[in-house]
């Protein structure tokens, strides 16, 4: 099947978020390696993947709050793409929070807002996931999402 130029451009845009996430993960692993914190990087990745999977089991599987249109939940593509992306997400939360020399509340707010913008604005155009709830619920859900990842990381790292 041959895709038209418009369809090909849409497919390329939709696949771009995967490459951005992969690149972010590689950069964070490299920085962690240089800082001598590779074990911490792997721990944050594992916690992010586990936390994201549990959140998806509740939010996608039970409550149907969102869905992944191109990766069916609990299928091979989901585990190959979405779960590792959650791992990178965990790294993007916990490694910078360890590295930023600011008061906890300020750095937490800065990371939360930055990740909200980094993930949600492109998703409006790309549509990697689709919500079935109002925007205000999506935005308010980001704070417990970040807190859950941070709490698990701090629980397992000390």
Instruction: Give pLDDT tens digits along the chain (158 positions).
Output: 444 455 445 544 555 666 777 788 889 889 999 999 999 999 999 999 999 999 999 999 999 999 988 888 888 888 888 899 899 999 999 998 888 887 778 888 888 888 888 888 888 888 888 899 998 988 888 888 898 999 999 898 76
Contact of 114 with 107, CB cutoff 8 Å: no
What per-residue confidence (pLDDT) applies to 1? Answer: 45
The pTM assigned to this predicted structure is 0.81
DSSP 3-state assignment of 128? coil
Q: State the Cα angle at 139 between 58 and 149, rounded to 5°.
A: 55
Q: How many CA atoms lie within 13 A of 62 on its CB side?
A: 7
Query: Token digits for 30?
Result: 């490299």
């Amino acid at each position: 099947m041959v895709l038209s130029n418009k369809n090909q451009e849409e497919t390329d845009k939709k696949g771009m978020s995967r490459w951005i996430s992969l690149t972010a993960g590689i950069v964070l692993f490299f920085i962690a390696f240089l800082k001598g914190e590779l074990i911490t990087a792997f721990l944050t990745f594992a916690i992010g993947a586990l936390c994201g999977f549990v959140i998806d089991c509740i939010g996608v599987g039970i409550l149907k709050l969102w869905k992944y249109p191109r990766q069916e939940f609990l299928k091979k593509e989901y585990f190959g793409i979405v779960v590792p992306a959650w791992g990178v997400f965990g790294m993007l939360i916990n490694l910078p929070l360890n590295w930023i020399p600011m008061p906890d509340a300020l750095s937490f707010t800065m990371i939360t807002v930055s990740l909200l913008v980094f993930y949600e604005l492109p998703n409006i155009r790309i549509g990697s996931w689709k919500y079935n709830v109002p925007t205000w619920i999506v935005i308010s859900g980001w704070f417990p999402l970040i807190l859950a990842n941070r709490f698990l990381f701090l629980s397992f790292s000390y």
